[in-house]
Amino acid sequence: MTVLSHKEEQLITQYILRETKAKNKDNLSRTNSYKRFYDRHPELKWSLLASFVSRNAGWSMTDLKGELFHPGLTDQQGHMIFTAYERANWLIFSDAYPQLLLYEWSKRCNAPLFHLLSVFRVSRFMRAEWERFWRKRDTERLLYALIINEQYTIQSPIIQNPLLKKNVFHSIQYAFSEWGHFQTVVFPTIDGHLYGITIRKFSKVKERIVLGKKLAKLLFRADLFPDFYHFLHTVPHTGSRFDFEQYLGIARRSTPFLRTVYPVMTHSLDDQRKDWFQKKVNQSLFDAESLPKQIELTEWYFHKKRQLRFLFSLEHYFQHK
């Protein structure tokens, strides 16, 4: 086991801070960084799940500038919803990526360095979970712990943020998407199939944790994982849904490339990264979840696009009547 000096630990933390800032530039850089990390350390399943969910966030962002959503949104509405997506994903990455890199350095040094997590303002909950993982190598437990942590990390600064609550989570467009089951995370394959799971009560932290565990179960299902990974490995992420819609037989792009419509945002942690972990978490959050009966969503996707087009045309009609 390597024992590091204080100076060496400082150099590692400075490197991690620089890398995290560089890779947290936008949705594309985050998505690709998660995937590359998984390829280096496949025992960290959360990193691949995060990459796939991050792809979905990018697709949701460009939806706001696409043919379907854009006519039904004011510029302010579109900006606020984009800000909610972007801020949440930036915050998760700023919290999670240092954890991943610190694990990578721990492997290199053959010594746990998780006492340094406090430098990155990571929750005490995760420090205990990483130390447990180092001892027991329970990959499933760590996967669930990271899902729990990320959802609690965004609950107060994003989901309960008064401005975002009013303009995003209580908006008519958000109500439409919740009512119509449009808040669905999809996992495409290049042979024209679409799988996924829908969340209804997105503002509820426990609902998002359950969703995360179900998505993990779906992603790593033995019969489907090779197809999902093949998509992630071979299809570059542009932020446009055409990344996968081209494999569904949709010939025309209806959403733009992400970097053509969104500038890089500057974020600040401010005082928003207070430790969410104040008491024990309910151990039931670590229970496995079963998959819903319907996970193949190819036909559903076409139906929901038609339904959403109708809803927004209806809203547009009443706005201009």
The domain of 114 spans 6-319
Residue 1 maps to a domain: no
pLDDT tens track, the chain, 321 positions: 678 899 999 999 999 999 999 999 999 999 999 999 999 999 999 999 999 999 999 999 999 999 888 877 788 888 888 998 999 999 999 999 999 999 999 999 999 999 999 999 999 999 999 999 999 999 999 999 999 999 999 998 888 887 776 666 656 555 545 444 457 899 999 999 999 998 877 778 999 999 999 999 999 999 999 999 999 999 999 999 999 999 999 999 999 999 999 999 988 766 556 899 988 889 999 999 999 999 999 999 998 888 777 766 665 545 555
pLDDT at residue 122, rounded to an integer: 96
Q: Which residue has the tokens 């081209």?
A: 246
Percent of the chain clearing pLDDT 70 (strictly above): 89
Q: What is the pLDDT of residues 175-218, one digit of tens each?
A: 545 444 457 899 999 999 999 998 877 778 999 999 999 999 99
Dihedral sign from CA coordinates of 227, 229, 231, 233: negative
In a domain, 249, yes or no: yes
Closest CA relative to residue 173, chosen from 81, 306, 58, 59: 81
Q: Tell me what pLDDT residue 128 has.
A: 97
Long-range contacts of 270-276 (CB under 8 A, 24+ apart): 272/91, 272/156, 272/157, 273/91, 273/94, 273/95, 273/121, 273/153, 273/157, 274/156, 275/121, 275/123, 275/124, 276/123, 276/125, 276/152, 276/153, 276/155, 276/156
Is residue 81 assigned to a domain?
yes
Give a yes or no: residue 272 inside a domain: yes
Distance CA 176, CA 309 (A): 11
Cα gap 125→276, rounded to integer Å? 9
Give CA separation, 82 vs 12, 97, 263, in Å: 33, 22, 11
Q: What's the confidence (pLDDT) of residue 3?
A: 82
* Predicted pLDDT at 173: 55
**What CA–CA distance (Å, rounded) separates 202 from 200?**
6
pTM: 0.93
Total number of domains constituting the chain: 1
